[in-house]
Copies of this chain bind each other. A is one copy, B any other.
Amino acid sequence: MSSDRVTIRQIAEMSEVSVSTVSNVLNGRTLRMSAETLERVRGVISTLRYRPSSIARGLVTGRTATIGLVVAEIETALFFSAVGALETAARDAGYNLIVCHARGSRDEAEVVTVLRTKGVDGIIFIANSEAVDNTHLSDLPAAGILAVVINRRRPGPEFGRVSWDDRAGVSGAVEHLHDLGHRRIAFLRGPRSRDSTRERAAGYRRGLKKAGLPYQEDYVRHADYTADPLTWERAAGELLDLDPAPTAVIASDDSVAAVVIRTAQRRGLSVPRDLAVVGIDDQMFAALLNPPLTTIRLPVKEAAERALKMLVDTIAGQSMRAVRLDTELVVRDSSSPEPPHHRQSAGCLPSGKVAGPSSPGRKET
């Protein structure tokens, strides 16, 4: 097969220099080298299309310019933008990404082992905020493998961490709805096992308090976005059956929000006139719904970029940190004070106007 691989030795011979000289030009240690030699070596390299084997290099340097990415729930649309952003950022920094999907602690431990044998320089974990066991990560720092976690509890101080402020996000959404005149604001909780669910619930309470609204048990329902959509529909229906029914709903994510909208519409209600709906995530389709969905945008891409930067900076000598990003409320028609067909046709894809100044993480677009 690949019998004709060009090696550094051949380059050396053809350039009539030693391998170390070639190695030097390869690695930019070219400062005090005769310009003529440099030229000649470079010429041979390019005519032979020589590319040093990063395997061989990795064996001796112990570095591979490869980063492992361990993704929980790879099927989730939101995480894909993270993978994309990460890949771009990584390649800009001269790294490649080995992407692995881990479905649980056991799986993750296995994946980490493989990644270690492959000699990755660092690992980024992007999680679903599931409070997962971290013990299998404890020996990573000792093994000299840098790691940063996204949307997950920090396994230790040697780990980098990037997260976002779920609590402030939901709190801000409540305030937004309150500003619009809503007084009966319901909240759909996500999967029970996730930290994000707790944070968001806390944000809901905080938002109510800030707005001076009472917390009502009845207005909080469970709608696990990892479960069957029929269950979301049921939860939405129960909310709508209440008397008095809520005039606004913050859904557990954009998918659930889509079903809430549909459920309301099927009952003849108009969104947002009879019911305002706010999602969480800002997935691609949010702006395409009818009406376009107001949603709490999670800064997944930014998180990915920050995580990568943290890793690269740490390789360059800095130490790990924990950063928390702001979410951003993207206001579209599903929470506007007037029904969408009476308004300018606002809200298509990445547009989205912005709410009042009261809550954090809002930004002009």
A-side residues, CB < 8 A to B, are: 1-2, 51-56, 58-59, 62, 64, 66, 74-75, 77, 79-81, 83-84, 87-88, 91, 96-101, 113-119, 143-145, 228-230, 233, 255, 258-259, 261-262, 265-266, 283-285, 287-290, 340-341, 345, 348-349
Knowing A98-B98, A284-B77, A348-B228 are in contact, say whether A289-B258 is a contact too (CB < 8 A): yes
Chain B CB within 10 Å, residue with most, of A97, A119, A266, A288:
A288
Nearest residue (CB) in B for A290 is: B262
Q: How far is A51 from B114 in the complex, measured between Cα atoms in Å? A: 9
Given contacts A66-B118, A229-B348, 4 further A-B contacts (CB under 8 A): A2-B62, A2-B144, A55-B58, A96-B100
Cβ of A143 and Cβ of B2 under 8 Å apart? yes
- A229, B287: Cβ atoms under 8 Å? yes
Please tell me how many copies of the chain the complex holds.
2
Contact between chains at B290 and A53 (CB < 8 Å):
no
Complex Cα distance, B55 from A98, in Å, reads: 14
A287 neighbours in B (Cβ, 8 Å): 229
Given the contacts A117-B52, A117-B53, A262 and B284 also touching, CB distance less than 8 Å: no
Output the residue of A51, A98, A283 with the most chain B CB within 10 A: A98
Q: Which of B118, B255, B348 contacts A230 (CB 8 A)?
A: B348
Looking across the interface, which residue of chain B has its beta carbon closest to that of A57? Answer: B117
Q: A101-B87, A228-B348, A255-B285 are in contact. Are A59 and B59 (CB under 8 A)?
A: yes
What is the CA–CA distance of A293 and B265 in the complex, to the nearest angstrom? 16
Chain B nearest CB: distance from A261 CB in Å?
Answer: 7
Q: Given B77, B119, B266, which contacts A77 in the complex, CB threshold below 8 Å?
A: B77
Q: Decide: B98 and A97 in contact? CB cutoff 8 A.
A: yes
Q: Which residues of B contact A255 (CB under 8 A)?
A: 284-285, 288
A-B contact pairs, 10 of them (CB 8 A): A1-B144, A51-B116, A52-B117, A55-B58, A74-B80, A83-B83, A96-B100, A96-B114, A255-B288, A261-B290
Tell me if B113 and A51 are in contact (CB < 8 A): yes
- A288: contacting residue among B55, B62, B84, B229, CB under 8 A: B229
